[in-house]
Amino acid sequence: MSFWMKTTIFAAAFAAAAMFGGANLALADDYPERPLQLVVPFPPGGASDVVARIIGGELEARLGKPVIVMNRPGGGTTIAGKEVARAAPDGYTLFFSSNSTFTLPAAVKEIVPYDAAKDFEPLGQVGKITLALVTYKDNPIKDLAALVAEAKANPDKLSLASFGAATVSHFAGELFKSSAGIKMVHLPYKGSAPAMNDLIGKHIQYHVDTVIAVKPQPDAGTVRVLAVFSAKRTPYLPDVPTLAELGYSGIDFASWGAVVTPKGDFRRPYGTS
């Protein structure tokens, strides 16, 4: 093997070790020698899929091998979680998901087909998607204080939709209701688009969705954003106050994303340590 080849391979292995987060991680000199797969628990085209493809493209450029995004939707993300948890910990299976996989299922399901705390090895949290509380544009209730007052005066009369039962949208709404000490009727939808359509059509009064779904609406003048659930204002809606600013200081909730691998020691398959 030439000096140039050794140097190149060492550089690739060092880059991979650095990428996978630890100076103690000693992958084989020839890693990666085949394509990697990046599993996503959602169908193609959604925000998570788009983010995963950005990550996959960058990893591919750095590692010099294809990184194939594998969409494995279903089971509220647990089908993909189970598949990755049982995959070989050889450094060739990566998983991009969120609290929708790692914490929410165990909070609501009797049986989850993996233990997120034990079955995955984190490469790192990579970012988040902020959630927002919205209403239709000409709702006479103009701000959060008025909403809380109205809900206290009329328990279980106002509706608060989510883009799905037991999703981050649902949890965020319940967190707000609990913090405010109010009761509103939860309306679970099958996805963001139908909920947003019904909000714009005034069939529902309030809704929690991601800023990705919400952002085009105030620009188009169709909805009003009352607050965001992040600790700090989001650059996507800089004029919208946080719930903390409005008096609910304990609320800092988002859909966070992380890249993980199956739990295990990458070094073992290569016999390098």
Partner 1 sequence: MEATINNPTVVERFTKVGFEPGFARYSDWASAINKETAEMKQIAQTAGIKED
CB of residue 142 vs partner 1: minimum separation in angstroms? 25
Is 202 in contact with 223 (CB distance < 8 Å)?
Answer: no
Long-range interactions of 237-242: CB distance < 8 A, separation 24+? 237/130, 237/132, 237/211, 240/132, 241/144
Among 109, 142, 157, 203, binds partner 1 (CB under 8 A): 109
Q: Is 128 in the site for partner 1 (CB under 8 A)?
A: yes
Token pair, residue 273, equals: 């340590």
Among 32, 89, 91, 257, binds partner 1 (CB under 8 A): 257
Per-position b or e across 233-259, b if 16+ CB within 10 A of its CB = bbeebeebebbbebebeebebbbbbbb
Kind and range of the H or E element at 61? helix 47-63
| Closest CB to partner 1 among residues 69, 104 | 104
Integer Cα distance of 134 and 143 in angstroms: 10
Q: Is 182 in the site for partner 1 (CB under 8 A)?
A: no
- Determine how many CB atoms are found less than 10 A away from the CB of residue 91: 22
Q: Is 105 in the site for partner 1 (CB under 8 A)?
A: yes
Judged by CB under 8 A, the stretch of 28-36, 83-91, 127-135, 238-246 that binds partner 1 is 127-135
Among 51, 226, 240, 251, binds partner 1 (CB under 8 A): 51
Judged by CB under 8 A, the stretch of 24-32, 113-121, 135-143, 198-206 that binds partner 1 is 113-121
Q: Is 175 in the site for partner 1 (CB under 8 A)?
A: yes
Integer Cα distance of 259 and 98 in angstroms: 9
Q: Is 129 in the site for partner 1 (CB under 8 A)?
A: yes
Q: What angle is formed at CA 61 by the lines to CA 25 and CA 264, rounded to 5 degrees?
A: 25
Residues that bind partner 1 (CB under 8 A): 18-21, 47, 50-51, 54-55, 58-59, 62, 76, 99, 102-109, 116-118, 120-130, 164-166, 170-171, 174-175, 177-178, 186, 188, 210-212, 215, 234-236, 257-259
